[in-house]
Structure 1
Amino acid sequence: MRRLYHQPLSPFCRKIRLVLAEKKIEVELVEEKPWERRMDFLRMNPAARVPVLKIGDLVLSDSGAIFEYIEETCPEPPLLPRTPAARAEARRLAAWFDDKFHDEVTANLLYERVNKKLAKTGYPESEKIKAGSRNIKYHLDYIGWLTDHRRWLAGDELSIADFAAAAHLSCLDYVGDVDWTRNAGLHEWYAKIKSRPAFRSILADLVPGFTPPQHYADLDF
């Protein structure tokens, strides 16, 4: 039995959920509130962060490490390209969204507006929200540029780069922070990945106290 400890609006958890669903790997979802620092959870991951994937006695943490384990043990369908150069590009872009996009956008928008309320750690800081709203434009334009030159973000095939980007954007879309009209390539790419069966359970997520916009689960948004 595989068990994934997650938060519904964590982009890192969503990335792993998308990977598991794309590979048709069944997993039991356990919602975890890491800010509560539950002792049993801390024993699994002292860093007190989600996601954590438990497979029997094996405990895996960090979304990058979890993905690499899944890709090696369940290689079909592959989410890393065939050639070393293409794999490096897929990993680079996944890191771009999990590091740069996360720090410049997700942390300033989603965490300020949602996570602080859920964890009861204070009120949103307006300067951070302004910074996130400003920064996201650059990243959306970058996605548009990538889609103008490639079928998927890292090349001709769907890869972990697409799921990393889509995980962050789907979380931000839940709170209405993505301007899908900014460029056509961005909209077409997200509509394509959003329509995949792997996305269904994520689009069904609901977070108490927060209502997604009407277009959030609409495949023809």
Structure 2
Amino acid sequence: MTLKLTGAGLSPYVRKVRTILAEKGLAYEHEPMMPFGVSDDYKRKHPLGKIPLIEDGDRVIPDSSAAAVYLERIQPSPALFPEDPYLHARAVWLEEFGDSAVTSIGGAYFQENVLARAFFKREPDAARLEKVTTEEIPRAFDYLEQTLEDADYLVGGRFTIADIACVSPLANFAYGGGAIDAKRWPRLVAYVERVQGRPSMKALIEEDRRALSAMGG
């Protein structure tokens, strides 16, 4: 049975799951639902009313991290979670770092500079952007720059779930006008270009840009 993914394509969490699906060559049906005013039926499947949601027949998997684990189990190759216990734990940690710290940055820039006027009918929250720019960005980007060292990827020198989770929200950061300072974080800039240049994520970013262009963003 074909997998079904529910969630707006511009969401970093939905992009994360779609990248996993593409990397693993899994076919799926995509319902691009916005995470606002969700139906009672959807809330029965995902009590938090958030996106994404994966359905595999009568199996329902809320949350991008739970979906990542499920997809890894049903299609182990190519592996996105290392077998080595320590590297596996590192990948899980950096997935969480991407889902929390990096998504906070990408979400703020995208919500305030793109969605505020278009969807929320309000002015951007300048105080929020200032805090993210002066506090959150240096902390997160310094950590990623340090973690990369001279490697192409974050964990074990190969592409893993950590890279997907940390780079997906940086697309939203860019859509909201954010740019990584190449002088301060040169490894991070090259790394993001490398990951976003993979066919699995590149196609989704191109799709995003078409959607943003259509909505005047």
Q: Give the TM interval when normalised to the shorter protein.
A: 0.7 to 0.9
Amino acid paired to 2:132: G
State the TM-score, normalizing by the size of structure 1.
0.86
Classify 1:45/1:115 alpha carbon distance in 2 versus 1 (closer, same or farther; 3 Å): farther
The one-letter amino acid of 2:5's match is: L
1:39-118 mapped onto 2 (5 Å cutoff): 39-103=40-104, 105-117=105-117
Structure 1 gaps, min length 5 = 212-221
Q: Does structure 1 conserve the Cα–Cα contact (< 8 Å) formed by 2:7 and 2:35?
A: no
- Provide Cα deviations, 1:158-187, integer angstroms capped at 9, x if missing partner: 110000011111121122212252422112
2:203 aligns with one of 197, 201, 204: 201
Letter in 1 for 2:188: L
Secondary structure at the counterpart of residue 36 of structure 2: helix
User: Within 5 A, what are the aligned runs for 1:103-142?
Assistant: 103=104, 105-117=105-117, 119-120=119-120, 122-134=122-134, 135-142=136-143
1 CA distance for matches of 2:108 and 2:176? 13
Give 1:202 shift: 1.2
Partner in structure 1 of residue 21 of structure 2: 20
Rate the CA distance shift 1:41–1:189 in 2: closer, same or farther, 3 A: same
RMSD across aligned C-alpha pairs, in angstroms?
1.9
Equivalent pairs counted in the alignment come to 210
The 8 Å contact of residues 110 and 171 in structure 1, kept in 2 or not, is answered as: yes
Q: Distance in 2 between matches of 1:180 and 1:88?
A: 29
Looking at structure 2, the residues matched to 123 and 62 of structure 1 have their Cα atoms a distance apart, in angstroms, of 30
Once residues 79 and 202 of structure 1 are traced to their aligned partners in structure 2, the CA distance between those partners, rounded to angstroms, is: 18
The unaligned stretches of length 5 or more in structure 2 are none
TM-score by length of 2: 0.88
Give the whole-Å Cα distance in 1 for the aligned partners of 2:116 and 2:153. Answer: 34
Amino acid at match of 1:195: G
